[in-house]
């Protein structure tokens, strides 16, 4: 009888803890860190590994790295694989790849950890990288599959024949997705790697890769990058990619003398602007604020109109527009909302990339 009562008490306590964790999780998702801490603290101090993991991530987001690392380690040392994986992500973000690798190996039962190990090994042991990517791909990781296929398309050896069945047919989309991963503005970014993979995808006819490659080249801004970027924008524009058309128009209007065609640029930018394209709204807003004047066409200075256009772009979740408003107009009444919106944008973007933090949802 006593044993039965004890079991009931433990079951009830588990349900209470689960409900409390779910309240904390919901608050965390809504960026209400005060409420999340109130719910998580007692659970974490009682040794709940899920709560310790989430509290660790909350502290990292709150830029309290020492506390975040402490809670993640506490959870990981109790055998919670997601916390070990999160420590791997954390140390990778700090540039401490050896520590990142060690924690990822502790979490190796997770498909995400196998994917991360594949990614980490691309810089030191391509054979191991392909092996881990293949394991994760077989377990259902689309990122691992894309990265593996991109590696096979650009760096295949006879030993890789064992993986060929994972990459049948056209792999240009895999090359595009791998290139897109490396365009990340955060710690995983590498313009050179992005350009490498996107170039192969673009030259194989992937229209999205053409546009993204143009953006990467334009961002790198080497001696001939702008001209090459324009070539890819024009090619993608001819295949009905509206964002590429806007990007080409921008270069025509503000580019170097060998790419500048201001009349053509203004006409094409305005066409996309009239259609409500977010990127065109952002660019037109910038032009109005600066009062750009070139031969053939003039954009008269109109700061209020320019801000209104950039707000329209921000309303469509354009990250450049949001970042511009946050940086240049910190006293704007909507600024907190824009900050939260941009934070959500990057959070959602992270979900589509490898090496994002893991926690238990409710």
**Angle, CA of 268, 269 and 274, to the nearest 5°:** 100
pLDDT at 223: 82
Query: Does 43 map to a domain?
Result: yes
Instruction: Kindly state the DSSP code that residue 139 receives in the 8-state scheme.
Output: T
Spatial CA neighbour of 188 closest among 119, 252, 139: 119
pLDDT at 194: 94
Output helix, strand, coil percentages for the chain, rounded to the nearest 5: 75, 0, 25
Collapse the DSSP code of 298 into the 3-class scheme (helix H, G, I; strand E, B; otherwise coil) and give the result.
strand
Q: Identify the domain boundary among 93, 109, 125.
A: 109
Query: Does 18 map to a domain?
Result: yes
Query: Does 234 map to a domain?
Result: no
Q: Identify the domain boundary among 48, 74, 109.
A: 109
The residue assigned the tokens 């520590």 is: 99
Q: How many separate domains does the chain show?
A: 2
Distances (CA, A) of 149 to 121, 168, 271, 355: 16, 9, 38, 19
Spatial CA neighbour of 187 closest among 323, 97, 118, 94: 94
Q: Is pLDDT above 60 for 10?
A: no
Contact 173, 205 (CB under 8 A): no
Query: Does 164 map to a domain?
Result: no
| CATH code assigned at 64 | 1.25.40.10
Distances (CA, A) of 14 to 72, 76, 164, 198: 21, 20, 47, 49
For 51, the domain range is: 1-109
Rounded to two decimals, the pTM is 0.82
Query: Does 286 map to a domain?
Result: yes
| CATH code assigned at 331 | 1.25.40
pLDDT at 354: 60
Q: Identify the domain boundary among 55, 78, 109.
A: 109
Residue 178 has a CB neighbour count (10 Å cut-off) of 26
Q: Is pLDDT above 70 for 9?
A: no
Q: Is pLDDT above 60 for 11?
A: no
Contact 262, 295 (CB under 8 A): yes
Mean pLDDT of the chain: 90
Structure confidence by residue, pLDDT tens digits, 111-166: 999 999 999 999 899 999 999 999 999 999 998 999 999 999 998 889 899 999 99
Query: Does 131 map to a domain?
Result: no
- DSSP E strand stretches across the chain: none
Instruction: Kindly state the DSSP code that residue 293 receives in the 8-state scheme.
Output: B
Query: Does 172 map to a domain?
Result: no
The rounded distance, in Å, linking the Cα atoms of 145 and 176 is 12
């Amino acid at each position: 009888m006593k044993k039965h009562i004890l079991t009931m008490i433990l079951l009830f306590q588990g349900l209470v803890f689960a409900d409390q964790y779910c309240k904390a999780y919901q608050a965390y998702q809504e960026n209400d860190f005060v409420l999340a801490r109130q719910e998580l603290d007692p659970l974490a101090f009682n040794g709940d590994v899920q709560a310790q993991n989430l509290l660790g991530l909350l502290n990292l987001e709150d830029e309290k790295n020492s506390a975040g690392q402490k809670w993640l380690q506490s959870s990981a040392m109790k055998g919670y694989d997601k916390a070990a994986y999160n420590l791997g992500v954390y140390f990778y973000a700090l540039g401490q790849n050896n520590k990142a690798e060690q924690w990822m190996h502790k979490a190796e039962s997770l498909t995400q950890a196998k994917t991360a190990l594949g990614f980490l090994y691309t810089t030191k042991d391509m054979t191991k990288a392909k092996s881990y990517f293949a394991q994760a791909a077989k377990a259902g990781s689309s990122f691992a599959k894309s990265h593996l296929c991109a590696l096979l398309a650009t760096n295949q050896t006879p030993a890789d024949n064992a993986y060929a069945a994972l990459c049948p047919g056209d792999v240009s989309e895999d090359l595009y997705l791998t290139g897109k991963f490396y365009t990340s503005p955060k710690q995983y970014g590498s313009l050179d790697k992005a350009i490498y993979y996107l170039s192969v995808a673009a030259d194989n006819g992937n229209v999205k890769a053409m546009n993204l490659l143009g953006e990467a080249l334009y961002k790198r801004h080497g001696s001939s990058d702008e001209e090459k970027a324009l070539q890819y924008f024009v090619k993608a524009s001819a295949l009905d990619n509206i964002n590429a058309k806007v990007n080409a128009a921008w270069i025509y209007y503000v580019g170097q003398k060998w790419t500048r065609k201001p009349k053509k640029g203004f006409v094409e930018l305005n066409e996309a602007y009239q259609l409500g394209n977010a990127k065109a709204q952002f660019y037109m807003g910038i032009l109005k604020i600066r009062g750009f004047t070139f031969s053939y066409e003039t954009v008269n200075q109109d700061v209020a109109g320019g801000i209104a256009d950039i707000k329209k772009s921000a309303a469509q979740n354009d990250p450049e527009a949001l970042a511009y408003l946050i940086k240049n107009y910190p006293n704007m009444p909507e600024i907190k909302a824009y900050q939260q919106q941009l934070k959500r944008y990057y959070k959602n973007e992270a979900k589509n990339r490898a090496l994002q933090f893991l926690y238990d949802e409710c």
